[in-house]
Amino acid sequence: MPLQPGERLGPYEILAPIGAGGMGEVYRAKDTKLDREVAIKVLPDSVAKDADRLARFEREAKVLASLNHPNIAAVYGVEDRAIVMELVEGNNLLISKAARIPEDIVLNYAVQIADALEAAHDKGIVHRDLKPANIKVTPQGTVKVLDFGLAKIADPVNPASNSANSPTLSMRSTEAGVIMGTAAYMAPEQARGQAVDKRADIWAFGVVVWEMLAGRRMFDGETVSDVLAGVLKSEPDLSGVPPRFRRLLSRCLEKDPRKRLRDISVWRDLLDAPVAGAPVPASPVIAWSAAALLFAAAASLAFLHFREAPAPPAPQVRTSIEPPDNTTFNFTGALNSVALPELSPDGRRITYGVRTADGKTQLWIRSLDSVTAHPLPGTANGIHPFWSPDSKFIGFFAEGKLKKIDASGGPPLTLCDAPLGRGGAWNEEGVIVFSPSAESIHQVPTAGGVSTLVVEGEQARWPSFLPDGRHFLFSTNKGIRLGSMGSKESKLLVETVSQAVYVQGQLLYLRDDTLMAQSFDLKKLAVSGEAVPIVENVASVGAVRRGTFSASREGLLAYRSGRSNRILTWFDRNGKRAGTLGEATDAIASPRFSPDGKRVAVELLDPASHKFDTWIYDVARGSRTRFTFDSSTVVASTIWSPDGASLAFPAQRDGKTKLYRKAANMAGAEELLLDDARIVFAYSWSPDGKFFAYGLAGRGLWILPVTGERKQFRFGESVGISGGAQFSPDGHWIAYSGTDSQQRSEVFIAPFPGPGGRVQVSTAGGDQPRWRRDGKELLYISAEGQMMAADIATKGGTLEVGRVRALFGGLPAASTDYDVTPDAQRFLVAMSPEEAGPERLMLVQNWAAGLKK
């Protein structure tokens, strides 16, 4: 948290904030021992909490403290994860064509900057980020160079010297803009991600001197991509430079470091006129520091808004974003609870889901020329966001509805029903196409109303419009298809299970875990040529996969690398992790305990087929046995019979999802239980074995008599069921999660088979109920991701809900990926391993530069 006036760090009393930079927040403070004012730069958590980097920081700070020069802002020491520096009064150097710095003042400033560099280089210290924002001029006209060596401290690892890693920007809020140099002042070797020495400072010195003389940027452009292209390819124009500076600048600005001036101490010898020695009064052309700092920050981050096909060709620039402090990205878990990243079409902003420490989820938004993100009010539990074509609105799904919200703020508006929203797309004609129930594509006006069917079948989802706003791409369990407004017909484009987006003449989609690009002809509406790999090891969610990637029409790519890599994790009733079961894998879903608690049936994703099969774990031994071999793309629970001798499971056969029963020891033939449903979610078996509860997407809770005529029927008031149902241990009740009058998922209990009204258990959102085996307690997950326990009492056909309490938090909200032991003392939850590193969202500017020609 930011420091407040009056707080103390050792002997230093905080007076006021000064600003923020790549290495943390800066404050004016009072040294109470020496009675002087100082500047204190507080380290970001990424450094302060990393023992190795903190130790390296302290070592580097000692070296910096050895610099004692009148043109270098002094480092006094280190205090409680902060660096204490000389407080320099004055203004930052401002480059302005409207108010050029006179030539004699330029020469005087150059003397002082060069003297500062010489003093540092003599001690083996390289600045690495010399620029106007790091040069201050006092009211007396003395130049002070700031932040010597801090760019080196900010760098967590030395960049590799190959083009695949150059240049890398950290977009974390604590290290924003650190590229080991700022784009417009980077030496060419820096721009390529190669190791640098003092010759990089000499290049930057030449650029700063040139800009003071010219009153404008040497390398400029709307994006950092344009700037870096100039650094790498454009020769500096010295024609407008005063003759006395040309020989000096030509030596400082050699692109080949081997030909560049090797030592700043000889710069005076390259001037064609004598150098004035004394400082002159500060010129009125120097603007105040805040404006210069903002200008520099904007320039260092401007790469995130760029144009197609700049000339000369722009290099790729890679960067990463980390989640806001004390949160994680909501990128892993069940498809009904994740909010994957989506770039705005203009490439200026990005929205994504964030999960706080207490398990609450919400959509956040970040402007990519800013170092901070902020939540979007009213988007709690929002999933699968998508943008309007003008980048002003965001569509998303929550509480069984399709909604939209102004990206600049304001309350969300409900557009229509969407019980199991699976993606949407928005065209310029005011129409949204979306998947309301994971099996079809509908359309609705952006003003809202009743949706109408566009495409049905094959688990159609993840629509994305082509530029004409009439045709759209969508995903199915067999491949990527092309649909059209006004027609229910579609055609297959690519046989791969992934969503697809059209950007800059290419279709982007996943093949296995690799992001591919394939040429697409907008006139012929067909792919052509061979697909080219863009990025390997891109994460995805679900079997009918939603890859964790997004692309703006301007050529910016966002993706999450790695896999979900989850593992079945034991928790006690206090939320303490108590070991794991099995190994970490790409995707784990729907663990279900046998009645005696000795075995667990679980859905595991086959990494080869990207489909799910059921496996049975022996809890005591940890071994597992494969139970199904259908490799279904449907994630649906396998449910134990009351005696534990058999299991019921959905399987995709003959184009439909059917329900079967099979002996737990896999002896004998399997039995068909239900064959007329398209998508089946298996929920629970009644204790007497006579009834089976299952769900149909968007159609509520249904009951199948297992004996006799087997004529299924819808159960009670469960039309709005959102997920999860269980018979009570005595078979007289069913607990299920359904929508209330506010269309929010809540947990209810209703008598079985009826009649009678339902009793609401949860009051602030709930899902996935589980009974304790004695029927006196009901467990469920709250909307905030807390494990809840409700006392239940039944007598004479009546049911009362007693005390409801939170046991622990930090779970994926609305997750199907947990179960509780019969005695309700232990919980098994599919979670990310504890040792998993911090999640990062990768950004690639000008990704098309990597296409093989």
Q: What is the 3-state secondary structure (H, E, C) of 583-603?
A: EEECCEEEEEECCCCCEEEEE
* Nearest residue to 174 (alpha-carbon basis) of 314, 57, 316, 321: 321
Handedness of CA 521, 522, 525, 527 (dihedral sign): positive
Strands in 461-465's sheet, in edge-to-edge order, are 461-465, 471-475, 480-484, 487-494
- pLDDT of 328 reads 84
Residue 431 has pLDDT above 90, yes or no: yes
Write down the architecture of domain 321-564 according to CATH: 7 Propeller (2.130)
Residue 171 has pLDDT above 60, yes or no: no
For residues 543 and 635, the answer to whether their CB atoms sit within 8 Å is yes
Catalytic pick from 31, 129, 226, 417? 129
Residue 608 has pLDDT above 70, yes or no: no
* Nearest residue to 507 (alpha-carbon basis) of 462, 544, 537, 539: 462
* Nearest residue to 10 (alpha-carbon basis) of 36, 31, 39: 31
* Alpha carbons 492 and 480: distance in angstroms, whole number: 6
DSSP class of 304: G
| Average pLDDT score over residue span 650-672 | 83
Q: Which of 23-27, 261-265, 370-374, 787-791 has the lowest mean pLDDT?
A: 23-27
Q: Which of 394-398, 531-535, 775-779 has the lowest mean pLDDT?
A: 531-535
SS3 544: coil
For residues 108 and 276, the answer to whether their CB atoms sit within 8 Å is yes
- pLDDT of 532 reads 92
Tens of pLDDT along 268-278? 888 865 444 43
What is the crossing angle of helices 103-122 and 198-214, to 10°?
A: 170
Task: Tell me the pLDDT band of 144, cut-offs 50, 70 and 90.
Answer: very high
| Chain centre distance of CA 723 | 26
- pLDDT of 544 reads 65
pLDDT, averaged across the chain:
81
* Alpha carbons 678 and 437: distance in angstroms, whole number: 12
* Alpha carbons 158 and 180: distance in angstroms, whole number: 9
Residue 99 has pLDDT above 70, yes or no: no
pLDDT higher at 668 or 343: 343
| Chain centre distance of CA 461 | 21
- pLDDT of 164 reads 29
Task: Determine whether 129 is an active site residue.
Answer: yes
Tell me whether residue 853 is exposed, middle or buried, using C-beta atoms within 10 angstroms of its C-beta: 0 to 12, 13 to 18, 19 or more: exposed
pLDDT higher at 317 or 750: 750
pTM of the model as a whole: 0.53
Residue 62 has pLDDT above 80, yes or no: no
Distance (Å) of CA 571 to CA 335, 805, 818, 826, 827 = 23, 17, 10, 6, 5
For residues 375 and 352, the answer to whether their CB atoms sit within 8 Å is no
Top-confidence range, 154-158, 200-204, 297-301: 200-204
- pLDDT of 717 reads 60
Residue 56 has pLDDT above 80, yes or no: no
| Average pLDDT score over residue span 703-713 | 85
What is the crossing angle of helices 198-214 and 243-252, to 10°?
A: 150
- pLDDT of 543 reads 62
Q: What is the CATH number of domain 566-831?
A: 2.120.10.30
Q: What are phi and psi of 343, to 5 degrees?
A: -80, 145
Residue 320 has pLDDT above 90, yes or no: no
Residue 119 has pLDDT above 70, yes or no: yes
- pLDDT of 292 reads 32
Tens of pLDDT along 728-745? 999 999 998 876 555 567
Task: Tell me the pLDDT band of 563, cut-offs 50, 70 and 90.
Answer: low
What is the amino acid identity at position 590? S
| Average pLDDT score over residue span 758-767 | 86
Task: Tell me the pLDDT band of 640, cut-offs 50, 70 and 90.
Answer: very high
Residue 597 has pLDDT above 70, yes or no: yes
Handedness of CA 285, 287, 293, 296 (dihedral sign): negative
- pLDDT of 1 reads 64
Spelled out in words, what is the top-level CATH class assigned to the domain 1-87? alpha beta
The domain ranges of the chain are: 1-87, 321-564, 566-831
Pairing relationship of beta strands 12-21 and 36-42 according to DSSP bridges: unpaired
- pLDDT of 179 reads 38
What is the crossing angle of helices 224-233 and 289-301, to 10°?
A: 80
Residue 287 has pLDDT above 60, yes or no: no
Q: Which residues pair with 559 in a beta bridge?
A: 549, 842
Instruction: Quote the longest CA-to-CA distance of the chain.
Output: 107
Task: Tell me the pLDDT band of 636, cut-offs 50, 70 and 90.
Answer: low
| Average pLDDT score over residue span 351-364 | 85
- pLDDT of 172 reads 29
* Alpha carbons 659 and 811: distance in angstroms, whole number: 30
| Average pLDDT score over residue span 62-74 | 83
Task: Tell me the pLDDT band of 796, cut-offs 50, 70 and 90.
Answer: confident
- pLDDT of 289 reads 31
Task: Tell me the pLDDT band of 163, cut-offs 50, 70 and 90.
Answer: very low
